[in-house]
Amino acid sequence: MTISAAPDVVLDHLSKADGSASYSYAGYAVTATVNGPIEAQRRDEQPFEAIVDVIVRPAAGVGGTRERHLESILCSTLRHLILLKNFPRQLFQIALQITSVPENDYVNSKLMQASSSQNLSVLPTLFQTAILALVSAAVPMKTTASATTIAIPKDYGSPLLNPTPRQVQTSSSIHVFAFTRQGDLLLSQSDGSFSQDEWDVAHDIAKDVCMEKKREEVDVMLDDDESQTQNMADLIRAEAQMKTDSDLHWK
């Protein structure tokens, strides 16, 4: 299956929600809406801070433990980004709908069961979409962040960024990292067998992709036309800027 190289972002395209975003990259596509701050259910509310509710829904089939697992990872990560203390007794609801998952033409996929490695490779897309939707809903955050997947092949080849399902299948381990734009590690999930060195390599590559480039570096980057190393932090900024520009066009 051919996979479009450049990430595709649509911001604020759903009318009812406070904020929404669609993001597709490397065959994965996710649509997200954010509602918040809204009143929390009385049984859930926290007296000193807002609660974050993340709902992940699969493209096909009913959500199960896989989705609950992803939800818990996302929820605990996003809690660190949103300024929760500013909104006591309130709720931020983030609904994430997976709309497309790259298909592996060589395997007939079963609907319900998916291996844990497949779990992880959708995580960066979910995370990225959630961040974009939060930005679109103008939810106050400490910083923005981005995530990426890295697979380390079985044959000790060079680590692969945003691997295809086929590559995931044939790799010895995969790693998901999320960094803030300042380059602080926010999330690290790994699956498979790997050494500390391999993790370090993966970490460095991911950090490079997720962290904001310094000004001068960006200028250099503009010259070489490598969509492979699309910088995620820049992407969020660029998309947000484009959206505000088009929204304020009338001015």
Partner 1 sequence: MEKGTVELQVWHQKFLRYLACEGSPPAPGRISSRDPLHDKSSSHSPSSGASQSWFAIGIALIFSSFLKSPDKLNSETQIPLPAVNMPREAEISTNEKQFLKTALTENVRIDGRLFEQYRPLSLGFGEEFGVAEVELGKTRILAKVSAEVTVPYADRPFDGIFQIVTELSPMVSPAFEVNRPTETEVLLSRLLEKTVRRSGALDTESLCLMAGKKCWAVRVDVHVLSHDGNLVDAACVAVVAALRHFRKPDTSVEGEMVTVYTAAEREPTPLSWLHSPYCVTWSFYGEEGEMALLDASWKEEQVQVASFTVSLNRHGEVCQIAKLGGVAVDAVLLLKCTAGATVEVKRISEMVDQKLEEDAKRRDKGGLMAELRAENERES
Which positions lie near partner 1, rule CB under 8 A? 1-2, 14-17, 20, 27, 29, 31, 33, 35, 38-39, 41-43, 53, 55, 57, 59-63, 91, 93, 95, 97, 99-100, 103, 105-108, 110-111
* In the complex, least distance from residue 199 CB atom to partner 1, rounded to whole angstroms: 32
Residue among 110 and 251 whose Cβ is closer to partner 1:
110
* In the complex, least distance from residue 217 CB atom to partner 1, rounded to whole angstroms: 33
Backbone angles phi, psi at 167, to 5 degrees: -65, -35
Cβ–Cβ < 8 Å for 180, 144: yes
* In the complex, least distance from residue 9 CB atom to partner 1, rounded to whole angstroms: 16
Q: Give me the residues paired with residue 31 across strands.
A: 22, 97
Number of CB atoms found within 10 A of residue 79's CB: 15
CA gap 70, 79 in Å, rounded: 14
- Of 48, 67, 3, 61, give the one whose Cα is nearest residue 29: 3
Chain centroid to CA 195: how far? 25
Residue among 38 and 83 whose Cβ is closer to partner 1:
38
- Using the structure block, give the residue that is written with the tokens 């399902």: 165
**Half-sphere exposure (Cβ direction) of 154: Cα atoms closer than 13 Å:** 6
* In the complex, least distance from residue 203 CB atom to partner 1, rounded to whole angstroms: 31
Residue among 59 and 238 whose Cβ is closer to partner 1:
59
* In the complex, least distance from residue 109 CB atom to partner 1, rounded to whole angstroms: 8
Residue among 105 and 216 whose Cβ is closer to partner 1:
105
* In the complex, least distance from residue 45 CB atom to partner 1, rounded to whole angstroms: 10
Chain centroid to CA 43: how far? 29
Residue among 108 and 158 whose Cβ is closer to partner 1:
108
* DSSP secondary structure of 210-224: HSPPPHHHHHHHHHS
Residue among 61 and 153 whose Cβ is closer to partner 1:
61
Q: Which amino acid is at 110?
A: K
Residue among 16 and 249 whose Cβ is closer to partner 1:
16
Q: How far apart are the first and last CA of the chain?
A: 43
Q: Identify the H or E element spanning 165.
A: helix 165-169
Q: Give me the residues paired with residue 90 across strands.
A: 39
